[in-house]
Amino acid sequence: MGLKLPKGFVFGFSEDGFQFEMGLPGSEDPNTDWWIWVHDTENITAGIVSGDLPENGPGYWHLYRQDHDLADRLGMDGARIGIEWSRIFPKPTFDVKVSVDVDRDGNILYIDVDEKALEELDRLANRDAVNHYREMFSDWKNRGKLLIINLYHWPMPIWIHDPIKVRRLGPDRAPSGWLDSRTVIEFTKYAAYIAWKLGDLPDLWSTMNEPSVVYSMGYIDVKSGFPPGYLSFEAALKAAKHLIEAHARAYDMLKKYTKKPVGIIYATTVVEPLAPEYRDVAEQAYKMHSFEFLDAIAFGKSSFIGERKDLEKHVDYIGVNYYSRLVVAPSKTLMGWSAVPGYGFACTPAGVSAIGRPCSEFGWEIYPEGIYTVLERFWERYRLPLMVTENGIADSTDKYRSRYIVSHLANIYKAIEKGIDVRGYLHWALVDNYEWAQGFRMKFGLNYVDLETKKRYLRPSALVFREVAKNKEIVDE
């Protein structure tokens, strides 16, 4: 007897623009911070980025129908798909006037993008890109599928963030992205415009994917290969505050123009102590990693923003991205704790963890029971619907992927049985993708992609996924 998931439980895939869209002539998007970052010869020479280039990617921009056919055959009935801000507005939108309510401390309390502003934005927008996104999304929706549109998955227009100039000149003398409060305003304009133009298409909105990665990798973990690679804890906190405000102000406009549920997709992990006496340290790390940002938009209170009523109740659901755990011990770092090598995300690529668990080619320990803990803690704290919006493994030989999927789904089933409102499972990824600074080395796809021909080839794990998705049931065999 298998584990039967609810009839309405959604199976699907997640993907974004920069990692999937490019690959065929005419799909290039050179107007982003990430584009110039991965093309920068200094970054490539120093090994900060791989040297692989996104314009050689899987080509979803042109091959979306083929990928949707593939997803359909694998029993997928939902997808989270991203829009690239830089495709919609390759040129600045600063001159479009909107109403901005700011308090004496410089906090942005409300932004109203009215019809006049939307018409001005429409004149600035790349209409071809807008129409192409409509075609892509409509192709999925017309199949009777659930669609989550995500507005931001890290790349920003170069006119609002130039990471090479930030690194060379400093953030005060360059377009500094989330360090500039104007970015909150421009992001809200972009969100309002997308709601106005494409608001009939999504079932759910997501304002942004994994905002914590942006401020932590960009300004603290500067060896990660993420732009702008500018070490500053003060900058990280400023970016976090502006990302929180951007989510909330975009939420306001998405609700104004569409009334549809608006959530956020968050990078999660279960944090565990190396030894029992480190429980308090682990809980401190858990709170900082998973709760501070979400507390701000759910309760209007966190160490990032203090207490602000204008931010509370600004999230309708939470997208949960889970890959592995974090094991911590006290340290003399500013945070007071550090990840312990040999566990979770800190393992040897394609190796074995300190407790004998296999690890992905990224060096991430396979730890499926952690997803149950993450779902349980989010549910207990926020009582909001949850959707697993990313879960997958870098596994070029497909050695572990089938069991990875099934074991994580078994823990999701356990959470549902406990009364936790988990609505679906979106796998990362449908096809192999461009994995940021790592380039094409990490193979997350249920389908292998020949980057020369762009042909897709099913991996054996795709057939396991199909069996589970079509039957809504997890079986042991």
Catalytic residues, by residue number, are 210, 390
Helix (H, G, I), strand (E, B) or coil at 300: coil
Q: Which residue has the tokens 């942006």?
A: 214
Both tokens assigned to 343: 């566990």
Cβ of 306: how many Cβ atoms within 10 Å?
A: 12
Both tokens assigned to 11: 């199976």
d(CA 282, CA 290): 12
d(CA 450, CA 258): 39
d(CA 472, CA 373): 22
Which residues have C-beta within 8 Å of that of residue 168, sequence separation ≥ 6?
A: 174
- Is-contact 326 267, C-beta < 8 A? no
- Is-contact 323 303, C-beta < 8 A? no
d(CA 196, CA 181): 23
d(CA 287, CA 229): 25
Kindly give the pairing relationship between strand 108-112 and strand 99-102.
antiparallel
